[in-house]
Amino acid sequence: MKLISGGVCAAKGFQAAGIHCGIRHNRSKKDLALIVSETEASAAAVYTTNQVKGAPLTVTKAHLADGKARAVICNSGNANTCNADGIAIAEGMAELAAQALGLKAEDVLVASTGVIGQPLSLEPIRQGIGPLAAALSTDGSGDACEAIMTTDTRRKEAAVEFELGGKVCRLGGIAKGSGMIHPNMATMLVFLTTDAAISPAMLQKALSGDVQSSFNMISIDGDTSTNDMVTVLANGLAGNPEITREGEDFAAFMKALNTVTVHLCRCIAGDGEGATKLLECSVTGAKDEKNAKIAAKSVICSNLTKAAMFGADANWGRVLCALGYSGAELDVHKVGVRFKSAAGEIEVCRDGAGVPFSEEKAKEILLQSEIGILVSLGDGDAAATAWGCDLTYDYVKINGDYRT
């Protein structure tokens, strides 16, 4: 297994493109993306559990009923959520893409991201779909990635190469997400592709299982979006024996998938709105995985902890506070806390009580751009990791005028 370049186009038979079509007023911002497989692909998706859902999710679910797809079209700048004609617009996007590609509309998945509750016109998409399809390229991952960004400040791409049944396979993807990040069963927008051969049922099993330890372990601000969606297309062009059941090949596929998704998780968490630091909370010594996840996510979600990390303040009591109200089963008298970064590591709490430490050294550690919060519960062998970011003044500034 090795990390490679190429993002969503790393796998055989996939092309992508991204252009500005006019949905966003700023012409320097791309706002329409397309990802296409040259052959029919197994397809799977997971979605937000927010009861207010964007129309594209409804259309994508319907188009995925047969477990197959060929393309994904996505716009930024408008979420197409809470619109009276939202379903018709999302279906229209699929139809326009299908016409340009010579496909059936049912083979096209649809996604949107941006402002909620504002009408989305098909006209810019109709005008842009021809140039977008013409721009499709095996080098188009970066452009597609830019076209799905909203308040993101940088691209989020990843890809790996691995073996299945003696065949070299590739799996890659792109993601967007910077605010409204607190997933439940899905996340932000993530588009994954692979040339591995795997049945739709096993692909869905792999994706549904993976998000529990990857995207569901991110939190930026505690808000679960209306448009969160993760999709994956697998076209089988690598030529490996199709994965139809659990076993060594399925385990290898899961490892590749998780390598890419965790990389994207870190990218998303580190690019949270207004963020200056990526926070990674690693919990060890939990009674079971469930309790480990609850504890790790609670620390990452704590606004007080996030603010302390922004100020490089080693206020470990806020970590214990978050553990205490998390709902995880733990004995506070066994809890230990350490802070870690490229500048070193320091113990600040042992057996639920403070220990002497250098405030100067702690500050040096917490001034780095990536901070590890290491929590030991001392109750068992289970572990979990969650990702987030610090809470800064700029988060309020960004969201104070997000719409206007």
**Mean pLDDT on 143-165:** 96
Task: Compute the average pLDDT of residues 240-258.
Answer: 98
Identify the active-site residue in 60, 150, 187, 284.
187
Exposed (0-12), middle (13-18) or buried (19+): which is 66, by Cβ within 10 Å? exposed
Assign 396 a pLDDT band (cuts: 50, 70, 90).
Answer: confident
**Domains of the chain, with CATH numbers?**
2-270 (3.60.70.12), 278-400 (3.10.20.340)
Positive or negative torsion for Cα 292, 230, 176, 48: negative
Residue 356 has pLDDT above 80, yes or no: yes
| Strands of 97-188, DSSP E | 108-115, 157-164, 167-176
Element (H or E) spanning 230, and its range? strand 229-234
276: Cα within 13 Å, side-chain hemisphere:
14
- Is 48 annotated as catalytic? no
pLDDT at 163 over 60: yes
Burial class (CB in 10 A: 0-12, 13-18, 19+), 189: buried
pTM to 2 decimals?
0.93
The pair of structure tokens assigned to 147 is: 């076209």
